[in-house]
Chains A and B, each alone.
Chain A
Amino acid sequence: MLTYLLAFILFAVGLYSVINKRNIIKIIMGIIIMEHAVNAFFILVGYRAAGKAPIMIQNTSVKEFVGFSVDPLPQALVITSIVISLGVVALMVTLAVRIYQHYGTFDITEIRNLRG
């Protein structure tokens, strides 16, 4: 239970950083922290105490296998979501570099051409 709570605290820290920080780099880091928190939570969903890696060895029945293995599906999903977040973060950093070239600052309060 405590580990779930820690994942949520991590998520909240990331969200706080996205909402409250003025520096673009800190906002990007907030997004990364949130993504990691969700990934950690996803892994925890498939966790079981004293579980083993979900590799089926010869001569094990399906029933036995289900008895000892952790759920492999969340791990597959988390790999996918890590790849996606890599793409998102790469795009964010590229845009941050472009913003710095145009405005000469990372402070979002000074980057206000558009009114939203």
Chain B
Amino acid sequence: MLPLFVAIPLGIGFLLPLIEEVKRRTNFFAAAMLIETGLLLALSLIKFGDKSIYRMSGWPPPIGINYVLDGLSSLMLVVISAIAFISTLFALTYMRKHENLGKFYGLFSLMLAGMYGVVLTGDIFNMYVYLELAAISSYALVGFNRGKEEIEASFKYLIMGAVGSIFILLGIAMLYGSVGSLNLADISVRIEEMTSKSFLLLSTALFIVGFGLKAAFIPFHSWLPDAHSSAPTPISAMLSGVLIKVLGIYALARVLFNGLNLPNLAPQVLIWIGAGSMFIGGMVALGQEDLKRLLAYSSISQMGYITLALGMGGALISQGKTAIATLAIIGGIFHLVNHATYKSLLFLFSGSVERLYGTRNMSKMGGLSRLNPVSYAAGTVGTLSISGIPPFNGFWSKLAIVIAAIWGKMYPLAGIILFTSVITLAYYLKVQKEILWGEVAERTSRSKDLSPGLYLPLIILAICCIGLGLLYLPAFREVVLEPAALALQQSSEYTKLVLGL
């Protein structure tokens, strides 16, 4: 069943633009996409918690390509499918008036195929191919509206993304040259047998830079605010919610933890890159007036939390403190899931607010609580979750990361995390003050009220934001988060699963 995750979106992504040539009825494409993502969501929920591998054409793992389903990848499948489903639900109404919807949903579908491939594959070159598939379709989607700024943002994203891909490919070439294998599990076994590991330094550095360009870590972030704010809103939600995580953090973590067995210095580099992204992204977000740009900088900041937590987990593993390392990695993965829900909620919220006011400038908005109470409620839940207010999910993941930092005796990091939380709260209070409350601003948009299609998806995500906090309860944590964290931490389990040793 695993190849279906790639085959279904790939096939539909190929068919939709072709069908558009003969049939111009727009509702057809949205319906097809909705059925596709719904089907994939159901599939990923059925497969959740399974551990299995699929051998392509029956070749055994070190020779052939194989798909691996373990705790982490099954969690990622659910996250991707859920966000894709809700974004499509939102696009149903939001994109209705646009042209070329066959191409839009076709590219969307191809992007999904690429992301599923990256999550499932156990072969590093195959990962590169899927990564490029997802990245190329996202470059095209960012420039989908073909306006002046969209094209510029898309070109910037394309150049940075292409350089990142080239770095990753060079890293793969060097790794293949020195280890002689492309299968992650096989690479891990072979590296374990080698005495000198200094040759890994250069390819590790290339991987960190390459995947870092995809994940927009702080020195490489300049494309993200442009690209994520120029894309059509459902795509912004996909890009910020899932794409940067799958292409950046997930791929990097898989390669570093499961493939290269955590090379020296890599965890420290991740920690400092994460802390830097977190802090600087938050500071820049404070000064933004454009709602979507603020959300994009906040994505950089939140990605910093995830990177920091994974790096901390890696550092603690090499110090031998496995229990605390598990907690740190659980915090990182939990934050990844939470950030996917509330950041896509906030991006979809920004889309519906833009429809209502006709602008993205926050100082020209106001009084949403009186205009549309439902989206006001959803926006409140989203902003409170991302700033880490107790009953919502964002609080629990940040709590896990901070506790891991304190138990691991990394006090300066705990301080940075807490300080950044305060900054996050500050700029989301600004969002609340300017949009949600206050006088009803004069509107340039002609639409009097939002259609239900533009706020119902927000409700679903808002409920997720409240409900996902439950994952931190021990009963759920053992089922959902712990297998995901252990999949990264115990790379011997991964090799056992793949190679069957």
Render B148-192 as a binary contact track against A, CB cut-off 8 A, 1 for contact.
Answer: 110111111011001101100110010011000010000000000
For the complex formed, measure the closest distance between the CB of A68 and the CB atoms of chain B, giving whole angstroms.
18
Which residues of A are found within 8 Å of B36, using beta-carbon distances? none
Chain B interface, >50% SS class: helix
Residues of chain B with a CB closer than 8 A to A113's CB: 148-149, 152
In the A-B complex, the 9 residue pairs with the closest CB atoms: A45-B177, A116-B222, A114-B226, A42-B173, A95-B155, A102-B148, A98-B151, A84-B132, A34-B166
Nearest chain A CB to B171 CB, angstrom units: 10
Decide if B248 is an interface residue (CB 8 Å cutoff): no
- In whole angstroms, what is the CA distance A77 to B210 when docked? 18
Residue of B nearest to A27 (CB): B159
A12-39 at interface with B (beta carbon < 8 Å): 15, 18, 24, 27, 31, 34-35, 38
Chain A 36-57: CB-based contact to B (< 8 A → 1; otherwise 0): 0010011001000000000000
Residues of B within 8 A of A81 (CB): 128, 169
Question: Nearest A residue to B147 by beta-carbon distance?
Answer: A102
Q: Are B136 and A91 in contact (CB under 8 A)?
A: yes
Residues of B within 8 A of A96 (CB): 155
Task: Check if B139 sits within 8 Å of A91, measured CB to CB.
Answer: yes
Interface residue from B152, B165, B169, B173 paired with A99 (Cβ < 8 Å)? B152
Could you give, for residues 107-146 of chain B, a 1 whenever the CB lies within 8 Å of some chain A CB and a 0 otherwise? 0000000000000000001001100100010011001001
**A38 lies within 8 A of B170 (CB):** yes
| Cross-chain contact B166 with A35 (CB below 8 angstroms) | yes
Question: Which residues from A are CB-within-8-Å of B148?
Answer: 102-103, 113
Contacts of A87 in B (CB 8 A): 132, 136
B225 at the A/B interface (Cβ < 8 Å)? Answer: yes
> Counting chain A CB atoms within 10 Å of each CB, which of B129, B139, B162, B176 scores highest?
B162
Q: How far is the CB of B213 from chain A (nearest CB, A)?
A: 12
List, in ascending order, chain A residues with CB within 8 A of B166's CB: 31, 34-35, 38
Indicate which residue in A24, A74, A84 contacts B155 across the interface (CB closer than 8 Å).
A24
A48-103 contacts to B, CB under 8 A, are: 73-74, 77, 80-81, 84, 87-88, 91-92, 95-96, 98-99, 102-103
User: Does A114 contact B156, Cβ atoms closer than 8 Å?
Assistant: yes
Is the beta-carbon distance between A111 and B152 smaller than 8 angstroms? Answer: yes
Given contacts A91-B139, A91-B158, contact A74 B153 (CB under 8 A): no
Q: Give complex CA distance A80, B170 in Å.
A: 14
Contacts of A77 on B, CB cut-off 8 Å? Answer: 125
Q: Which of A38, A42, A80, A114 contacts B152 (CB 8 A)?
A: A114
**Interface pairs (13), CB distance under 8 Å:** A31-B159, A74-B176, A81-B169, A84-B165, A87-B136, A88-B165, A95-B155, A98-B143, A99-B151, A99-B152, A102-B148, A114-B153, A114-B225
Within the complex, which residue of B155, B176, B225, B226 is in contact with A45, where a contact is CB–CB below 8 Å?
A: B176
A-side contacts of B125, CB under 8 Å: 77, 80
Given A35-B166, A81-B169: A88 in contact with B159 (beta carbons within 8 A): no
Give Cα distance in the complex from A24 to B158, angstroms.
Answer: 12
A residues in contact with B176, CB < 8 Å: 42, 45, 73-74
CB distance from B476 to the nearest CB of A (A): 40
CA distance A96 to B58 in the complex (A): 44
Partner of B163, one of A31, A41, A95: A31
**Contact in complex: B169, A38 (CB < 8 Å):** yes
Contact of A88 among B129, B132, B177 (CB under 8 A): B132
| A38 contacts B173, C-beta separation under 8 Å | yes
> CB within 8 Å of A: which of B390-418?
none
B170 touches A11 (CB 8 A): yes
Question: Which partner residue on chain B sits nearest A34 by CB separation?
Answer: B166
Q: Which residues of A contact B149 (CB under 8 A)?
A: 113-114
